[in-house]
Structure 1
């Protein structure tokens, strides 16, 4: 990486060298737990902004008050981003300087703002950023798993069938050659079932569950996916969760017992016979006709 630019004075309220006009839109990373992690340049940038775009004013306002930042807050979230974007572009065109923050961490990482950034770029506005905390990267570095390449996948679908389909697609991509450490976010009340689904789809891979990063009760628990699933089924998690899963190894041919287990798990989610066979075929790389034929045999044996 390049060395820091000595022309940039510490705490400058712009993401560019001193003397240049700030860009119309600056993405500002905020703490993921420890409020002391807001950088001096982030504070200066937020103070200089004509308005601060945020997910939830109730979350951002206390952070700003702690640092004496009085810029007006404008809500920007999944439900109003499309509607708000034209007004915000108009403000940029008038010469205003807007800062975008999420509730915690780096904006756009499983948070609102992508549609606004894309529209700002399309309109010819410069977009810059003040880097800072990122839960996904911190979890990756603490996991003890290979740090690169890695693939950040955000949140898995909350419903079992959709989650199984998403993991089947992921396995198909891995069978096509992807070998990367996987990083997910997960809600604490879904952690145990997500780990169980990952273990079913990916096998007993090494993994790490990181919880409450940078906070008082920060925890990193490492183990295999089945071990972690069993632990959190018995000990429900609390707080913010980032989950890291080791990369795929070269697959051995799918055995009949393993194939049957996958089919039974897919059928248990309520999928039709045909859809369950399609999911398992995608996950294993086996021919769909072969998997469907085996699914039919299992159904007849059960009857």
Structure 2
């Protein structure tokens, strides 16, 4: 099978286990293909943890979970130098922390204090950690999936804008529809009865597939009018008054250059995922919300009126013309 066929097969396997969340599954795979990190936000019980565990079970990878709490220390994530004693050949040896894995679940990241959240920054951006002045490289296949709960904000530490900007995509997870809920109930009942293990398990998809897919995505063409369309969308968040009175009242701080790069990269991955060798405006629009919603700062007036970042992006896509 081609890399794309294997990635589509991976998507089918995940969707069979994460029912009614096809958009979430696709965006997680796009994040992985773009060598990025994702912030997944949703209410408890929506299978946020199950999503990345299912990805790990079907892809050749090492999975690690970090449960963030207020008493977690940075060394609990990165690892630390361990003293072996005076008689050891090496008195200190570095012991890897849970960040040294291919797929890292940072569960409830907003429950950890800022110092611990910051410990993820170098790993997410540079794919390395520095402990006691020594740099340790993370695996070539590496993705952080951080989760947070939009309710129960008591005792939490909201992520600062600078750290939010490090996530390639901010994916929101909503309740499934009634038909999907019924299918979920039957699926879990079958797993409890042991029916899930019936039959031969499909072969694990190798890491090489992801690396080959990234090479093909880099070859996806993006025409100059589409490039200008991406830049215009981002410019609309920085000069909102030029794109209508609503946007001028709603946006306080616009999207950083990371947002432009994210739109470019993810839209190319989206086109490749759907079997095209070029980017269309529909590809950009399909990923705009997940790439931009966490990079916008809204005004107090917008918050008071109950305006969400998604509504702002909807208005933005309406006002910005395709070149």
Q: Classify the TM-score, shorter chain.
A: under 0.3
* TM-score normalised according to structure 2 size: 0.24
Q: Which has the larger radius of gyration?
A: 1
Higher RCO (CA < 8 A, seq sep 6+): 2
TM-score normalised to structure 1 length: 0.25
